[in-house]
Amino acid sequence: MRELGGETIFLNPNDIQLGRGELIKDTARVLGRMVHGAIIRTFAQRDIEEFAEFSGVPTINALTDDEHPCQILADIFTVQEKRGSIEGKVVTFVGDGASNTARSWMFAAGKLNFELRLASPPKYQPKAKWLKRAGGKVICNADLQEAARGADVLYTDIWVSMGMEGEEARRNADLGPYWINEALVKLAKPDALVMHCLPAHRGQEIDATTLEANADTIFDQSENRLHVQKAILLAVASCVPPMQLQPGV
């Protein structure tokens, strides 16, 4: 926002009346009269949707328990930057296929015509309603090796998403075999990209050698969050009415 010449204010729940029990729809109606847009990172998807509905200003989902769309837009941009159009490519997501990141990958696969393989244990695969909503070619496969074979992209994310800290031991045990390592990379295409949403936990969802061997891609991917978020802001700026202030006010 600052690079584009805009101004930002950062608000924690305790900086505003949300921390004192104000309803989201009331906070949204107040803030909607004071700012031109909102970027929200929270837990419940419903909270962002309610804010968007009642604020009347563009509201960007910067991560919820359900979705992580801004990340996946940056990831897809990174694939395009390095390998051209993502259409027709095979992206293998390794880990929790029911996570926010995986779900946003699913929605993207439906829109951009690439094959998404979710390599996850059965109870970490997405519910049928999400597969239906995503449409497109999304293949759930508990066989990690098979899911990785011939892939253009191997992608992973932290096993314990924000807010799931209490489930760490169980998730680490369940997801233990679902990691990207040197042997898995050999099954993908020779020029396959290895990508990571970050933060990385070496020895869990990815081994240290593989992460370092692919650090150029992974940290370009991370840098692209900056550039792609600017593109998102520009795209929504067209929805924002001009400033109401008169010159000199």
Closest by CA position to 94, among listed 212, 166, 187: 187
Residue nearest to ligand NVA (CB): 161
Closest separation in Å from C-beta 197 to ligand NVA: 5
Footprint on residues 95-124 left by ligand NVA (CB under 6 A)? 99-101
Closest by CA position to 217, among listed 80, 95, 73, 113: 80
71 is catalytic: yes
196 is catalytic: no
Closest by CA position to 148, among listed 110, 113, 179: 179
Task: Kindly calculate the radius of gyration of the chain based on its CA atoms and give it in whole angstroms.
Answer: 20
The catalytic position among 65, 66, 70, 71 is 71
225 is catalytic: yes
SS3 20: helix
Closest separation in Å from C-beta 68 to ligand NVA: 6
Among 157, 193, 221, 225, the residue binding ligand NVA under the rule CB under 6 A is 157
Strands 193-196 and 115-119, sheet pairing:
unpaired
**Using CB under 6 A, which of the segments 12-20, 22-30, 93-101, 107-115 binds ligand NVA?**
93-101
Among 197, 211, 228, 233, the residue binding ligand NVA under the rule CB under 6 A is 197
Q: Are 126 and 98 in contact (CB under 8 A)?
A: yes
125 is catalytic: no
Which residues does residue 195 pair with via DSSP β-bridges, in sequence order? 155
Measure the CA angle with vertex 179, ends 84 and 218; round to 5°: 40
The catalytic position among 75, 96, 152, 157 is 157
Footprint on residues 25-84 left by ligand NVA (CB under 6 A)? 63, 68
Footprint on residues 133-152 left by ligand NVA (CB under 6 A)? none
Among 60, 90, 98, 158, the residue binding ligand NVA under the rule CB under 6 A is 158
Burial 63-96, CB ≥16 within 10 A → b, else e? bbbbbbbbbbbbbbbbbeeeeeebeebbbbbbbb
Q: Which two structure tokens, joined as six digits, stand for 11?
A: 């608000």
**Using CB under 6 A, which of the segments 1-9, 155-163, 172-180, 232-240 binds ligand NVA?**
155-163
Q: What CA–CA distance (Å, rounded) separates 1 from 6?
A: 5
The catalytic position among 66, 207, 225, 229 is 225
Q: Which is nearer to ligand NVA, 157 or 207 (CB)?
A: 157
The size of the interface with ligand NVA (CB under 6 A), counted in residues, is 10
Could you list the active site residues?
Answer: 41, 68, 71, 157, 197, 225
Residues of this chain that interact with ligand NVA (CB under 6 A) are 63, 68, 99-101, 157-158, 161-162, 197
